[in-house]
Amino acid sequence: MSEVKTQAKGSPEFSLHLTVIAVEVLLRRGVSKSNAIAVGQEIAERCCKNLGGRAVYIPKNMAAQTALKAIAIYEEFDGSNYVELAQKYDLTETWVRQLVKRKHQEQRRAV
pLDDT tens for each residue of the chain, 111 residues long: 555 554 444 446 888 999 999 999 999 999 999 999 999 999 999 998 998 888 888 877 788 888 889 999 999 999 999 999 999 999 999 999 999 999 889 888 887
Which range marks the domain in which residue 91 is found?
Answer: 62-102
What pTM value is reported for the model? 0.51
- Check which CATH number belongs to the domain holding 92 and give it: 1.10.10
The domain total for the chain is 2
DSSP H stretches of helix in the chain = 2-7, 13-28, 33-51, 62-76, 82-88, 93-110
Same-domain status, 12 and 34 = yes
Residues 67 and 42 in one domain: no
**Is the residue at 71 inside a domain?**
yes
Could you give phi then psi for residue 42, rounded to 5 degrees?
A: -65, -40
Rounded CA-CA distance 2/29 in Å is 19
Give Cβ neighbours of residue 104 (< 8 Å, ≥ 6 apart). Answer: 74
22 and 46 in a single domain? The answer is yes
